[in-house]
């Protein structure tokens, strides 16, 4: 069943090693904020924000950078909904000689550190990865590690801050864990689910996978989904036709079309708007998104 209004979330920069693959991927706080505001003008109701190390371009948890990005967006006068990630800090790679010793690429930290910027800055939404899974491809032994105990600590801090969690789910079992957390009162209902498709080694970006995952969601849930890379707009179309919302952005996909690098997040959002309107629906404004999500 299609919706009357479709929320577009733009995932602005992410934390993957993409900076050297597309020059449009923003790194500096001012560039991240500017790209988010351009995406909002193009039709995104929500902007999903990561920050990056200013020298290496890799994932960062530096609270001063979050403070700068959020401040610039808020001071701009834009009414776009801000969604801050809490995903950074979950990666663990066993050491070669001693698997209990963290290897290169590990950024695993205490759950309190992963939500401190959310507690301080109080965005309307923040992500919460309900996921433990292998991550990084066949040559990488990295694990994304989110134990139920850590998720409970993070969920409680998010709730106390008055922020709505966007539950990021990469496979079927993650939905079952999220549903259990809702049943236990650790996450308030109605919940907002983000289905992440096509990521190694999670659920594939196929209509069958999307249909099955959505069948497991609570009846009162609001959901969105995205596909990685070339699957981005195929999944977007499936979402519109299936009663969900849409996420696009340079975190998930670096190309506007085959062989053509996306020049900006705004260009990816504009293409999503075209998909939505071609299918006979319309995009939600930030205030409409707030009503849909009960913010």
Q: What is the pLDDT of residue 140?
A: 72
The closest alpha carbon to 14, from 160, 275, 232, belongs to 232
Structure confidence by residue, pLDDT tens digits, 197-229: 999 889 999 999 999 999 999 999 999 999 999
Dist CA 269 CA 42 (whole Å): 6
What secondary structure does DSSP assign to 180-197, as a single string? HHHHTTSS-SS-EEEEEE
Q: What is the DSSP letter of 229?
A: G
Judged against a pLDDT cut of 50, whether residue 1 lies above it is answered with no
Fold held by 5-292? TIM Barrel (3.20.20)
Confidence of residue 3 (pLDDT cuts 50, 70, 90): low
Q: What is the pLDDT of residue 139?
A: 65
- Per domain, the residue ranges of the chain are 5-292
Judged against a pLDDT cut of 70, whether residue 172 lies above it is answered with yes
Residue range 9-18: mean pLDDT, rounded: 95
Dist CA 283 CA 63 (whole Å): 32
Phi, psi of 229, rounded to the nearest 5 degrees:
60, -130
What is the percent of the chain with per-residue pLDDT over 90, rounded to a whole number? 93
In the block, which residue shows the tokens 């995009």? 283
Burial-class residue 275 by CB neighbours within 10 Å (0-12, 13-18, 19+): buried
Q: What DSSP element (H or E) covers 236?
A: helix 232-242
Structure confidence by residue, pLDDT tens digits, 112-169: 999 999 999 999 999 999 999 997 665 678 899 999 999 999 999 999 999 999 999 9
């Amino acid at each position: 069943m299609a919706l009357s209004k479709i929320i577009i979330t733009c995932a602005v920069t992410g934390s993957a090693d993409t900076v050297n693959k597309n020059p449009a991927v923003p790194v500096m706080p001012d560039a991240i904020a500017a790209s988010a505001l351009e995406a909002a003008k193009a039709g995104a109701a929500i902007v999903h924000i990561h920050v990056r190390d200013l020298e290496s371009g890799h994932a960062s948890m530096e609270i001063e950078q979050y403070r700068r990005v959020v401040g610039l967006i808020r001071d701009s006068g834009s009414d776009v909904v801000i969604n801050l990630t809490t995903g950074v800090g979950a990666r663990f790679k066993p050491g070669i000689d001693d698997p209990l010793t963290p290897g290169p690429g590990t950024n695993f930290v205490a759950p309190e550190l992963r939500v401190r910027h959310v507690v301080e800055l109080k965005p309307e939404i923040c992500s919460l990865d309900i996921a433990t899974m292998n991550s990084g491809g066949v040559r990488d032994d990295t694990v994304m590690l989110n134990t139920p105990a850590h998720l409970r600590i993070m969920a409680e801090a998010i709730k106390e801050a008055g922020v709505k969690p966007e539950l990021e789910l990469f496979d079927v079992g993650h939905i079952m864990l999220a549903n259990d957390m809702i049943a236990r009162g650790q996450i308030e209902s109605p919940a907002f689910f983000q289905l992440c498709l096509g990521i190694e080694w999670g659920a594939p970006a196929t209509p069958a996978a999307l249909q099955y995952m959505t069948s497991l969601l609570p009846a009162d849930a609001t959901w969105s989904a995205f596909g990685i890379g070339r699957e981005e707009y195929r999944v977007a179309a499936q979402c519109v036709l299936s009663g969900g919302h849409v996420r696009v952005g340079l975190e998930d996909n670096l190309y506007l079309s085959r062989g053509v690098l996306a020049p900006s997040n705004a260009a990816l959002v504009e293409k999503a708007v075209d998909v939505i309107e071609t299918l006979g629906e319309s995009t939600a404004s930030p205030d409409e998104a707030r009503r849909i999500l009960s913010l």
